[in-house]
Amino acid sequence: MPPFKFVDLFCGIGGFHVALKRLGGECVFASDIDEKCQDVYAANFGMRPVGDITAVRAEDVPAHDVLCGGFPCQGFSNAGHRLGLLDYRGTLFYEIARIVEHHKPGILLLENVKHILTIQDGEVLRTIMETFRNLGYAMKTVTMSPDEFGIPQNRQRVYFMGVRGAEDVAAPPAPVNAPVEILQRGVQGFGVKGDVREAFDAWTEALPVIREAGVKHPVLIDLFYNTEEDLSAYPAWERKYIEQNRALYARNPEFWDEWVARHCDILEKRAVYRKLEWQVGEIADGDTMWNHFIQLRQSGMRVKKATFFPTLVAMVQTPIYGPEKRFLTPRECARLQSFPDEHSLHAKNPTAYKQLGNSVNVNVVEHIMQHLITNYMQ
């Protein structure tokens, strides 16, 4: 690989930096407004990112061959209000365009959430692509996920590839899918305790009843007793949930009344304990919550097969590895994002989890960037 210089915008804890350094790149400028991310970045690379990119003049950014960045996704994410470019954080995209217009790097690689492709009926995508095309770049998007590389996590992200002066940009080749070991052995200090553990044990008792009913929808205890209200004013999706949960309760009201009464202290502590999203498939005979991965999300206790890790997110919703009744460690989450084990993480676990959930996957970035450098670096 030829040597090259790159800038790392919205750099987080350095996923792009790790990938591009492996390919022979030298980082000449990095920026992130989050001081805790700056701390981790500095500890790993010996350079501290500057803060607010909106306060940086384009001419003060060093010359570079490659510009990369995972620009803030909150304005585009399916989990947010999806205001797109109307959201201030979404407009930070234009900070990238401002620097690109001044320096005209040969290659661009940007990352965002998959929903950016369809937000505002595709208007956000069209705006981004047209902005860079008007600046002289051939543009193409590619959607990739770590599980294509043997990493047991489905986390689809969109990558914007740009090449200055080219007529077109080819898609990268298919990656090699080689299984990657994520779990650490002999983990201590991350066990599930207290009311979380009690809630999982309580729901294990209910699984045979749910299985007998053949339920495939989310089980929402708060809807069991919503039997008198007229549903005509509800949207169709919500009305369906209410009807499904009313029917589940009506099949065995004696069990559910006794179960709710016996576990009411736990169920009333947090709304999430009253919601179950079983995404494993058919409930097996003798199955338990602890046979699987569990993630506490706003929508409920989401249960997935223990062979495939729940998607890391920027919010602290740390996956629980049921077979060992423990949370994933920050290092295991770092492995899910393909960071090397020698990469330093934040000393406080909640911060480390959040930073990793907001990071790019190193192996995915390296694969795409290697394709761009090999075929388009001049």
Question: Does 41 share its domain with 110?
Answer: yes
- Residue 375 pLDDT exceeds 60: yes
Residue 156 has a CB neighbour count (10 Å cut-off) of 14
The Cα 87–Cα 267 span in angstroms is 36
User: 60, 62, 84, 63: which is closest to 72 by C-alpha?
Assistant: 84
Q: What is the model's pLDDT at position 246?
A: 92
- Residue 117 pLDDT exceeds 50: yes
Residue 104 inside a domain? The answer is yes
Length of the chain: 378
Give residue 22's domain range: 4-177+361-376
The Cα 181–Cα 338 span in angstroms is 11
Q: What is the pLDDT of residues 146-199, one digit of tens each?
A: 999 999 988 999 999 999 999 999 999 999 899 999 999 999 999 999 999 999
Residue 347 inside a domain? The answer is no
In this prediction, what percent of the chain has a pLDDT beyond 70? 93
Question: Does 129 share its domain with 276?
Answer: no
Q: What integer is the mean pLDDT of 124-153? A: 92
Question: Does 222 share its domain with 149?
Answer: no
Q: What is the model's pLDDT at position 118?
A: 86
Q: What integer is the mean pLDDT of 371-376? A: 95
Question: Does 246 share its domain with 99?
Answer: no
- Domain count within the chain: 2
Q: What is the model's pLDDT at position 81?
A: 43
Tell me what the pLDDT averaged over the chain comes to: 90
Residue 241 confidence class, pLDDT cut points 50, 70, 90: confident
In this prediction, what percent of the chain has a pLDDT beyond 90? 71
Q: What is the model's pLDDT at position 122?
A: 85
Residue 231 confidence class, pLDDT cut points 50, 70, 90: confident
Residue 215 confidence class, pLDDT cut points 50, 70, 90: confident
Q: What is the model's pLDDT at position 317?
A: 74
Q: What is the model's pLDDT at position 73?
A: 58
Question: Does 269 share its domain with 126?
Answer: no
Higher pLDDT, 74 or 356: 356
Q: What integer is the mean pLDDT of 120-143? A: 91
Q: What is the model's pLDDT at position 6?
A: 97
Q: What is the pLDDT of residues 52-81, one digit of tens each?
A: 999 999 999 999 999 999 987 555 544 444
Q: What is the model's pLDDT at position 314?
A: 62
- What does 256-270 look like in DSSP terms, one character per residue? HHHHHHHTHHHHTT-
The Cα 213–Cα 216 span in angstroms is 9
Q: What is the model's pLDDT at position 236?
A: 86
Check if the beta carbon of residue 103 is closer than 8 Å to that of residue 58.
Answer: yes
Question: Does 200 share its domain with 323?
Answer: yes
Question: Does 96 share its domain with 201?
Answer: no
- Residue 85 pLDDT exceeds 50: no
Question: Does 26 share its domain with 120?
Answer: yes
Q: What integer is the mean pLDDT of 308-325? A: 81
Q: Count, in order, helices (H) and strands (E) of the chain.
A: 11, 12
Question: Does 207 share its domain with 95?
Answer: no
- Residue 123 pLDDT exceeds 90: no
Question: Does 79 share its domain with 123?
Answer: yes
Q: Which residues are catalytic?
A: 73
Q: What is the model's pLDDT at position 301?
A: 93
Q: Using alpha carbons only, how large is the chain's radius of gyration in Å?
A: 23
First to last CA, the chain: 11
Q: What integer is the mean pLDDT of 296-314? A: 83
Q: What is the model's pLDDT at position 17?
A: 98
Q: What is the model's pLDDT at position 310?
A: 76
CATH number for the domain spanning 8: value is: 3.40.50.150
Residue 183 inside a domain? The answer is no
Question: Does 234 share its domain with 168?
Answer: no
Q: What is the model's pLDDT at position 290?
A: 95
Check if the beta carbon of residue 115 is closer than 8 Å to that of residue 77.
Answer: yes
106-143 burial, b for 16+ CB within 10 Å, e for fewer? bbbbbbbbbbbeebbeeebbeebbebbeeeebbbbbbe
Q: What is the model's pLDDT at position 1?
A: 66
